[in-house]
Amino acid sequence: MAILRQSALIWCRKFSKRDLLTASVGLTLILFSFSFLFSFSKNTVVFTLNNSNFVPLTLLFNAKDRGAFCLDGSLPGYHFDKGYGSGSSNWVLHIEGGGWCESVATCSLRKKTALGSSNHMEQEVQFSGILSSDPARNPDFFNWNKVKIRYCDGSSFAGHPESEFHNGSGLFFRGQLIWEALMDEFLSMGMSNARQALLSGCSAGGLATMIHCDDFRAKLPKAAIVKCLADASFFLDEEDVSGSRTMQLFYNNVVNLHGVAKSLPTDCVAKMDPSLCFFPRQIIGSVKTPLFLVNPAYDFWQIQHVLVPAASDLPGEWRRCRLNIQKCNSHQMDILQGFRNNLLKALSEFERSKGKGMFINSCFIHCQTWMETWHGPNSPRIYNKTIAETVGDWYSEKEDAKRVDCPFPCNPSCYNMDFMRS
């Protein structure tokens, strides 16, 4: 990645300002496509997976007859840990994140990874956070039937085969079909008799959770308590520091390439460009099922790729700030506080809605529900409650459970990522 950035910088210096802007946007989209592949590779080691159990990969064999394939044509997969006791009829599903691919070139590279092919997926993974079997780490869901859904389609499980390129690229855009095949699999395994269920997801998986939340509700018994949780997935449609709408352009390419429009809210698609309906702010207004949002106000991924993409910071003025929020100068912090304010403004109507919940902390982090930040002695807190405790209160309807942190650096319980140590 460093070589790619350095080469692109030298190349860009040969062009005019107008050409430079065009090239910068293009570079941003390339880096944007792969950023999720590298975001956590050297930094999640700081979190321990205490008392987590290893769960084997299961391939979705019913997918073959339905044509529900990963990007490379391999079978999708999931990991399942059977519930017991009081949780034997309850289900918690978690969709992993991993960004999106917006072109034949980036999808072709992606299909050579676990985010595009089950051939590259780990044969077993540790369950932690919301999937942990330790009641001390996961007090509300530890003994439920737990599923980790692997993400291998590049479109938040929203792509359609009608949009596939028939030019020898060998790519399969089958996200929606994978989702439907997965649901049928879990229903046949006992989820059709669920008393309680929670669909959750992180990042691009959280976006998939929002998109499919009402469909998930519709597939389960009417008497069941069914809710959804989206973690670090409230991506904003904001200008970056150079004045470009990098995220909007990227989403436009994803939606058009994968044919995502058919999976998006019909009321939204009827009145605006489908790529805008891929933004969570437009989706959540259509979700009728109770929904909880976990989101850091200073989401490092959004700061690094939406607010300050590398290509918009060719002078390198933001480098230290992008890598460590504690290295931001006063001017940069003002911009980050403005980004936080825009997040809260976008969530204002959601905050007033009945049945909705939120935990917006002031940490420089990304996903927080699948690791130790979910619940533990050192987990981030708002009003002395962890994310897991807040979600538990909301799910059981003990309280309204809408918690918004004060601005950075007010919360000493935050774990703030430091990429300068990488």
- Catalytic positions are 203, 299, 366
Question: Is the bond preceding 409 in cis, omega lying within 30 degrees of 0?
Answer: yes
Are residues 189 and 78 in contact, defined by beta-carbon separation less than 8 angstroms?
A: no
- Name 193's Cβ contacts closer than 8 Å, sequence gap at least 6: 89, 221
Q: Distance of CA 8 to CAs 11, 24, 161, 207, 370, Å? A: 5, 9, 34, 31, 35
DSSP summary character for residue 124 = E
- Name 136's Cβ contacts closer than 8 Å, sequence gap at least 6: 51
- Name 224's Cβ contacts closer than 8 Å, sequence gap at least 6: 194, 195, 196, 197
DSSP summary character for residue 73 = S
H or E element at residue 77: strand 77-81
Q: How far apart are CA 378 and CA 408, in angstroms?
A: 18
Q: Checking DSSP bridges between strand 225-231 and strand 124-127, what pairing results, if any?
A: unpaired
DSSP summary character for residue 354 = T
Are residues 167 and 219 in contact, defined by beta-carbon separation less than 8 angstroms?
A: no
- Name 207's Cβ contacts closer than 8 Å, sequence gap at least 6: 156, 201, 230, 233, 235, 278, 280, 283
- Amino acid sitting at position 288: K
- E-strand spans in 114-260? 124-127, 145-149, 196-202, 225-231
How many C-alpha atoms does 128 have within 13 Å on its Cβ side? 19
Q: Distance of CA 135 to CAs 129, 139, 320, Å? A: 11, 5, 39
